[in-house]
Structure 1
């Protein structure tokens, strides 16, 4: 984009950002913050500009090329306005977990980043689930089904800045046994019962006899009864949920059917009634849906892990760097046991987009993105001097066919070689940095 076109684009963008968020589409449906911004771009006819078109493509491409991560996860990165960036992460989550997403920004103001959580469906398509507003930068989401999920971050146009993303997961329900009884889960979903005749459809939480069994959410008691397996039992329906909680082996029931309860209210006392009369006191805790019992462990697992701190140097964020080892692997996850995308030779040039743990998220000159150990990366300073023997085009990418020419380096001139990619050198002269063919 030349200077005149860029100036016109800035003026148009400033105009549309001062207007209402509501375009024609918003009359009929509620738009996500990301969609509302996209609609404003379209209303201002900016989607047809080079930068506007690139923003839309980046949003889609980041989802189709999402990198794999494991929760908990933390990264610090930099979004450069010149690159029109968008990034997305793919991860596994289980029903009953609550995802907690926190995004910190520098600068804190005038630097909007859109956060969306999507579900990857069996056919490969994505389904939008929820978004954060652009003010709070905190997003919580209760996972409704086991599967793969996507988290996308994309800044608005013409805004640059640093961000730190932290994603953790924890239980969506409170623990159903009071801490006063020093509870611990001693039997899990799927454990064998009756000499292998059936599978355990819940978790057993062992605690001192008469420890309060408490409501794991706000809701309504739906049934207080007794049966052969569970003994004295209580069923309750959490508010705004599509499942029922089952409390069994109670020594006493302290609520009535139809009673409204709040999180932490005592429903009964832990015991060993029913088929648990010959076992230590415990609460059998189950969750039932219209399709039957489901594993309650993710709903109440209190072992919430913190993300590893970022230990890789942040000095290389948004900088051109190069590899230092004879062979350095680029992985699809920040984990040297994951799948390797490429093995890079020494001095391969790359751009550092973000840091997580002791890893960099890096982009190669051809657009390939992956994770690389930070210990094998150094700034792209001068490797050696190269004297140009005949005039050569300085390109903006290592691609003779499609790259644009930035300038021509005359014969006899010396350049600094800073890295390489394929059959090209990354070089700089007094005025420019770009790519030349290695000859």
Structure 2
């Protein structure tokens, strides 16, 4: 059933919709290019909506969700729902390695008239650092990871819009593979492997391919060195454009470039061989990456194996709905996996608000606001458990907290209520068309 808007809410909604289309003119815009999220926040302030309950809640929620993200492992996919009658948002924390390129894709239903702002932060002490951003009116967000660590993705929709979304996060290489596919190359030795009977560690990866297979430029850039040395034999150094590291090609049969030469991805740097200290090994390319601080592991930069997330299998009918636990030992996890740890064991019939589904799991909120993941097989629809007739008058609250939650209505003695769930000393009930909480 469509809801009728009261006039004050109607005019607020018109104003906020106008904000979404207006240009930012606030002080922040003078000094820097704003992210779409920050530009929207500035427009709220420019038009005075930061002084409304809904506008100020949206601004506060932007920081709140980043400070308490949920943990995931990538690759990752979730389908969720943002409701227009709530101030919502979500944040997800995951590990990423230097050299990876993150690909963050968001699809929406409906496709138009529903903006979701995506902001990627790197954990940096107590203040996360914004590193990349997009909204769903633009292209898929791609970001090269410059530093290994933890990253936080925030999704926040504009106000008074609702819709379903599917988020997909994958990680692939930021460089092209440095050996031609014609040689069916394979990586056969990795960073840190022992060398010289344990006297040193391998500072690169060895990519095996038939002799004289083309070794190719893994990025656009400039050749900075062509030389011969005892370990690497015939070697080439090249500097990718706008990079703070140098690529090292060793054991080449021959070099086919000159110092100072500009190359593009796929240009032949040399031919795979076994020169230098590789004379007794099968032909291969030793591929390394060097920074001002020394060698770093190149695998994440060139690893072609891009893992795809498991599809969402939890029933989507429960998105934006209240469900309840169907087992006496249902557990809330910090990860959508039983490999995570259980942050809480919940009693039977505990109500949960479902915001998203991932694999066979639901992302949920407990009545006290705690969030986490629960296996979809341990929840059921929050329909009537039993009906009871009240012996005394009871207050119906909008949260299981009689001290702080506002009262929605007074239920009089003799009135029948339908019990939908229970949490601590409160019952979730439906009474006279209203759903809320009353004390047991």
TM-score relative to the length of structure 2: 0.97
**1:353 CA drift (Å):** 0.4
The residue aligned with 1:40 is: 43
* Partner Cα separation in structure 2 for residue 383 and residue 89 of structure 1: 34
* Partner Cα separation in structure 2 for residue 372 and residue 330 of structure 1: 5
* Partner Cα separation in structure 2 for residue 132 and residue 58 of structure 1: 18
**Is contact 1:33–1:134 with CA below 8 Å preserved after alignment?**
no
Question: Which of these residues, 28, 51, 55, is aligned with residue 52 of structure 1?
Answer: 55
1:206 partnered with 2:212: no
**Is contact 1:184–1:206 with CA below 8 Å preserved after alignment?**
yes
The residue aligned with 2:253 is: 251
- Residues 63-142 of structure 1: pairs in structure 2 closer than 5 A: 63-121=66-124, 123-142=125-144
Name the SS for the 1:83 alignment partner. coil
**Across the two proteins, how many residue pairs are aligned to each other?**
436
**Is contact 2:25–2:46 with CA below 8 Å preserved after alignment?**
no
* Partner Cα separation in structure 1 for residue 266 and residue 86 of structure 2: 50
1:193 partnered with 2:195: yes
Larger displacement relative to structure 2 (87-96 or 51-60): 51-60
* Partner Cα separation in structure 1 for residue 14 and residue 105 of structure 2: 32
**Is contact 1:323–1:345 with CA below 8 Å preserved after alignment?**
yes
The residue aligned with 1:422 is: 424
* Partner Cα separation in structure 2 for residue 370 and residue 22 of structure 1: 39
The runs of 5 or more residues in structure 2 that have no matched partner are none
* Partner Cα separation in structure 2 for residue 16 and residue 66 of structure 1: 28
What are the Cα deviations for residues 22-54 of structure 1, in whole angstroms up to 9, with x where unaligned?
A: 323211211111110000011111112111111
Name the SS for the 1:145 alignment partner. coil
1:338 partnered with 2:340: yes
Name the SS for the 2:265 alignment partner. coil
**1:421 CA drift (Å):** 1.1
Larger displacement relative to structure 2 (16-25 or 336-345): 16-25
TM-score relative to the length of structure 1: 0.97
**Is contact 2:221–2:263 with CA below 8 Å preserved after alignment?**
yes
The runs of 5 or more residues in structure 1 that have no matched partner are none
Question: Which of these residues, 162, 165, 173, is aligned with residue 160 of structure 1?
Answer: 162
**1:18 CA drift (Å):** 4.0
**1:58 CA drift (Å):** 1.2
Question: Which of these residues, 258, 265, 268, is aligned with residue 266 of structure 1?
Answer: 268
**Is contact 2:107–2:136 with CA below 8 Å preserved after alignment?**
no
